[in-house]
Structure 1
């Protein structure tokens, strides 16, 4: 039985343990994790939240990925000797739920909230700010993530995606209809896509509002087709894909999160052979799983443009994440490694790990962690993002999105049923964002 030791007896026993194999074996048996130096470093408690089981967008893969990450690092000695404890919380897609998760993080002593999803920044940021808890790598769906000094985003959020999508469509689309949620945050999307469209298009986007929890979008789909100026029909004998190749002037971008699939079902019923447009979207609303479930290369997304934050899911830079998920998620079907939420969570925990390791302290406080992120060396993510830094010099010259330190997006396209790179590398949309004017 292992007994605690104090004073001179503890010091003598510790020296003996270091010089005898039996003593070393006994030390391990007393609860010191293999690989954790001396076992003296305090555990790290963090939280990851996301909505699950709601009528709107759900992101259960984000907390599940956080748990898998903690199993991996703890199996390998922790983060710089600190055992990682991950708290998870169902944010429920409500103001109350988001606030409750944040208050629980404060109550349970979380040193950070990492890789989380919520559109209710006005509810979750104040409790975190009051406690000085860093919010690392949120999904980027709420405006507060890009204005609060306690937020450390790893991507440019919806703002970068929409601005990038506008630029991606500007060359090929004379008219664009944007189908977006009829919410306060959704009100910011039209000016963002317009900031990109104006670099090449003659028309501003047609703003089509839609309920983010509707079961049918037929009227919305019909309106989108009309406002996009759907092109003339092409003889059915040449096939759907060829028809889309010949009708590129009208484009419909759907940005409804998880409800994009529901919209698409309605769109396919409403669209006729005489109404052909290019489909477009952004990651988070469209991913490989949706493309597969709607027919792959024979489905409506073939040829679609998609704007993302990160390299396409087949890029080898994601291999480390896939290996961890394969080994430590135990077949958890909530985790789809092609999903942008899962990918964001992986990157956010990569930031946490690198920041804690650079501190090299037996205990880590919220103040120390925030200070490292504010003033330390840039954090690298294995090429999944540009190097990340949140010091003053890295801020964006924008009143709405000053903390967009990662201004990069990727242009992707659906070819043969797979989401692949349309062009290599990252596209900097920082200047486009600086010119955007939103209601926020």
Structure 2
């Protein structure tokens, strides 16, 4: 369906113009997704329903687990697919059916998800925010199914040439932390990382190398996923660092922020988006993140057309989902995947295969990045550390903002490519 490329590009231009002139809106399974928006909705652009054969796309994301439930991240991914089916012509004309399988933080159930994806004949697996990718990716990639997302973290994700990411994830976050620390003149920092082999291994290898390159001293302190982190946080403050950095999911981040608040630590906090969802702010109060610098895959709160589209998509297709924090990762992962494939197109005729989708991804260039404030991404090469990362990280830009009174300010961009030697 390569003939649809011009129609898709025109649709995106019309959408952008429609959003720019419209009023801004406020900020597990298919039944979580609401009734599609009316075709005439000016923020979503004109109706362009998918009319071709259905293609299945896998969705793997942490949910249905008492330790962590990021169902909103999965809901945002499904919302993006529903939006594309009604307004972007689906996946190059094909209607998208999402096959959603929960990452229950259990390798055995993750292996079952891998088998389900292969059995269902998905053409790609979209990673929301998983923790057991290593139990899924080798099987799906081995079956010719590409892996796509916005937050690479696990060894299998970073080491796979068939993985594509529309955000730079923890790798980019480390680079952004290091570059920012260098730029503002920090001499030494403490990184609090959730006690996970993936996180601590990444920080201990790539992190140490990047901070050394930036000329900033750093120490790593592991913190539990839940419970009281005060003792560990106090340990990390013993050398009086200039700033504290956090790489953790929601529960661990809340524990670290609570401890920092209790200890009245004066250090600037450098955080990821998982630390600033409304649940954490509601539990700890605005002062716990006041003046924190937050690094993100995108800007969901501003007046840019991309942010307005995001808020409207969430209102229309996933109104019960929490739109802040890690929720944006699901949206960026799914919509980035759809835009990348649609920018290149798929061959006419026959069933769509994972190999065809991977080929389109490898050709995608200068694609508008969801929530990227006019940034683009290109997957024709990896933009970060090719000597360290085999996956294709399609952008080296990270957005960041400072929170005041519980709200983000204007987002700026930082390019972490140079610090990785890119």
Measured against the shorter chain, the TM-score band is: 0.7 to 0.9
Q: 2-side partners of 1:402 and 1:372: how far apart?
A: 16
Q: 2-side partners of 1:127 and 1:289: how far apart?
A: 35
Q: Is the 8 A contact 2:297 2:329 kept in 1?
A: no
Q: Which residue of 2 aligns with 1:16?
A: none
Q: Is the 8 A contact 2:105 2:131 kept in 1?
A: yes
Q: Is the 8 A contact 2:151 2:329 kept in 1?
A: no
> How far apart are residue 55 of structure 1 and its match?
4.6
Q: 2-side partners of 1:407 and 1:354: how far apart?
A: 16
Q: Mind listing any 5+ residue stretches in structure 1 that lack a counterpart?
A: 1-33, 230-248, 436-440
Count of residue pairs the alignment pairs up? 368
Alignment of 1:408-427 (within 5 A): 408-421=397-410, 424=412, 426-427=413-414
> How far apart are residue 376 of structure 1 and its match?
4.5
RMSD: 2.9
> How far apart are residue 91 of structure 1 and its match?
0.8
- Deviation per residue, 1:91-117 (Å, 9 max, x gap): 111222322212211111111112422
Alignment of 1:98-113 (within 5 A): 98-113=110-125
* Structure 2 SS opposite 1:276: coil
Alignment of 1:3-42 (within 5 A): 41-42=52-53
Question: Is the alpha carbon distance of 1:403 and 1:376 closer, same or farther for their aligned partners in structure 2, counting shifts above 3 Å?
Answer: closer
Q: Which residue of 2 aligns with 1:148?
A: 160
Question: Is the alpha carbon distance of 1:191 and 1:36 closer, same or farther for their aligned partners in structure 2, counting shifts above 3 Å?
Answer: closer
> How far apart are residue 223 of structure 1 and its match?
0.8
Question: Is the alpha carbon distance of 1:36 and 1:168 closer, same or farther for their aligned partners in structure 2, counting shifts above 3 Å?
Answer: closer
* Structure 2 SS opposite 1:44: strand
Q: 2-side partners of 1:308 and 1:364: how far apart?
A: 33
> How far apart are residue 353 of structure 1 and its match?
4.5
> How far apart are residue 174 of structure 1 and its match?
3.3
* Structure 1 SS opposite 2:105: coil
> How far apart are residue 123 of structure 1 and its match?
1.4
Question: Is the alpha carbon distance of 1:129 and 1:382 closer, same or farther for their aligned partners in structure 2, counting shifts above 3 Å?
Answer: closer
Q: 2-side partners of 1:255 and 1:393: how far apart?
A: 23
Q: Is the 8 A contact 1:336 1:342 kept in 2?
A: no
2:54 to 39, 43, 47: 43
Q: Which residue of 1 aligns with 2:38?
A: none
Q: Which residue of 1 aligns with 2:31?
A: none
Name the one with the larger strand percent: 2
Q: Which residue of 2 aligns with 1:83?
A: 95
Deviates more, 1:152-161 or 1:57-66: 57-66
Question: Is the alpha carbon distance of 1:75 and 1:375 closer, same or farther for their aligned partners in structure 2, counting shifts above 3 Å?
Answer: closer
- With CA pairs under 8 Å and 6+ residues apart, which has the higher RCO, 1 or 2? 2
- The structure with the larger Rg is 1
Q: Which residue of 1 aligns with 2:224?
A: 211
Q: 2-side partners of 1:181 and 1:407: how far apart?
A: 24
Q: Mind listing any 5+ residue stretches in structure 2 that lack a counterpart?
A: 1-46
